[in-house]
Structure 1
Amino acid sequence: MTTTVASQHDAESTLAELFAPDTRPDPYPVHRALRTKSPLVTKGGDLVIIANYADCQQVLRDPSVRNDPKLSRLGKDHPERPESLLFLDPPAHTRIRRLVSKAFTPRVIRASQPQIHSIVDDLIEKIASKSEFDVISEFALPLPVRIMCALLGIPVEEFGDFEPAARRLGRVLDFNLVVHNDDLDDAEGARNELMNYLVNLIARRRGNLGDDLLSRLIEVEEEGEVLSEGELLATCVLLMVAGHETTANLIANGVLALLQHPQQREILAADPELGISAADEVLRYDAPIQFVMRIATRDMEVSGTAITPGTAMLVLLAAANRDPERYPDADRFDVARGAADHLAFSAGAHFCLAAALGRAEGAAALSAFAGRVIDPVLVPGSVLYRPNVNLRGIQEMTVTHGGVRLR
């Protein structure tokens, strides 16, 4: 009995450390500790933490595992979610994903490349006129915002109307049923703000349909497909939030890693074709989404640990991505590693729809930063992280430089 209590206390303490504000700049020592104990049973058996690569792959690819928190013993009293792909399971997830996936085909991604590179060049050229710049507001964020606005048909000048709410909504993914967080009530309010914005936008768009994804989804709904108004709104909210925040975090994390590893920056500068490999390495090394939640619906076993139906599983993507069993010298940043099998985009049925677009944006931005910004230097003490645990990202980061190379 003493051993069980001590083990439970140790698990709870380690989990609390992961969510502690002081951990935000560098959560990886905690991930390492959790990985050595994985699978780690906590909350009286209602939650299992999965942190090594092979086990995370197993859980993410198991077709019997579900996403809806209300299916778990921890989440049985959880409030109903709107019809978001993040929390849906088949067949509803399959139906909505099929409709939205048409915006992310290889042909669409290839066609977006000139626009991505044009925006990156514009941002780099604006940096040229300044001796220092904020990486987030002047580089990492504007690229995915402009791409996301074009994708959804949102006027880019209206981004400021919903951006604060989109950032607050990101706290929902810190999962209140794991560690209580008072900020999550505010996140639910932010969801309502975004819904109200979209209701207005959709009303405007109905009379002026275009070639954007929002117009296509409206047409799908009006042509009698099984896409409800709630599903339309929830899908657009997800795209608004995930469509810019995760990619902005990828770019910002990548810039920070390149500043901290100048030799790797030089390697990328000398070979811009390594852009995709560099983006994948950033996703592996410092994942923009740190974990996902999955729910067991049958008796299953993970590395000898029995898991019963209704058990919530916290799948630590960021810990798995630094598993030395999968990646030799896993804590080393290497732009030529080519780690395309990382789990930053999840795996299985819920593999990120926009993975190829995020990779393309990250590759273009990181290659341009490495190759064109001369002698960039991180201003000491300028890196400030947002409070989010899961959508972990940098809020401010100042860099000085010696100019910008011509294209």
Structure 2
Amino acid sequence: MSSMNLVRQMLKNNRLSILLASGLLVLLTVVGLLWLAQHESEDFDAMIQEIAVATLKDDSEAQLYFGVAEADGIRWDPTKLTGLSDADFKQRNDDAENLLKKLTSYDVAKLSPEDKLTYDIAKWGLRAALQLYSDLNADEYVSLTQFPPYFANNYPIRNEADAENYIAALNGFSDKVAQFIDRIQNKQKKGFVPTSEFLKEMLTSYEKLRKTKPEETILYTLYEEKLAKVKLDPSKEEELKKELLQTLTDHVLTSYGKLADSIKNDLIKQASVSQGIWSQPGGSEYYSARLGVVTGTDLSPLEIHEFAKRKAEEIVKKLRSQTPGQAQEAAANPLLSGNELLQAISGELAKTTLHLSDWFEDELITGNPVDVRSYSVPFSGQVRFISPYPWTAIGTGDFSCRSITRFPQR
């Protein structure tokens, strides 16, 4: 993958052609201006590329997401998982700080409108990452529950080497979880413990994963499906599947059990009940930062609350003003579920595909269709969840009934 293709894919910012006004200009002046503009653009592109490389270079799972096998400054190791140690997080934060300083010092006056947009996106992303670097951040708890479908969906199994590397990478899951347990214990010593309600949800998720039979996990079923398409020697295929089952038992499911035990036997005893993140040191500031990242605005929590109240009142007023016939029609169209939901998602994806070229360069548009399947996620609760990962849980109600949108294997 070329340098700028990587940047474009990360920022999803389609480069637009610049239409130069024609006129009776002196040839040397035109050549000089074009040369200057070209080199300024190259300088900016190099800086953005540096940000992309720094963001991805130590994050194997992000590289897997973006399909980065090899690019300037990056080489994907198919046997590694992303680290969750304190040192890993500090390094990423230090990198973000240095890159933001460099970006902020850049002279934006010489940027084209399109490059200025790229600049703003990159700057916003770095600031968001820094704002969320906090002992209060509990994203890793949830990301670990999402790991099985994320990894299984995106890991390419194209040959025997891929099949072996897949298992080698999962052998590292126990180390990844051990790092995370050390990290949350370090936070605990400083007084940072998630709320009781949150920990109970995570405990339920980890317990379900611990009790899942290895042959029933998506890490095995999807591997088996992909492996069949490689058409290896039957004896080798059986050997790999047996090895994967052992890895899942020894390194993955056992690790989820250790997470569950850590919560049940330790963390939850110190967790507050019915108190939000505001009750912890720096909680109000973190909540405001988190809200800004989620909404993409500078609105305060109170302003967001008042806005939501107004919208809720408008919706209630509209519902109450409906005629009996309209109310019956609304009642006859409940939320979709099951096969109807899958069909609806597939239909919307088909419509969206027709317009991809309006927003993205052709080289960024995959030639494979998006695969929509149902997958049981070990997470309970009445929530609506949109994942930042390359699969998306869609719907309402019990989370275990969600549908998963699988992006095509790279």
The interval holding the TM-score normalised by the smaller chain is under 0.3
The structure showing larger relative contact order (alpha-carbon pairs under 8 Å, at least 6 residues apart) is: 1
Question: Rg larger in 1 or in 2?
Answer: 2
Q: Give TM-score, length-normalised by structure 2.
A: 0.24
Higher normalized helix content (fraction of residues): 2
Q: Give TM-score, length-normalised by structure 1.
A: 0.24
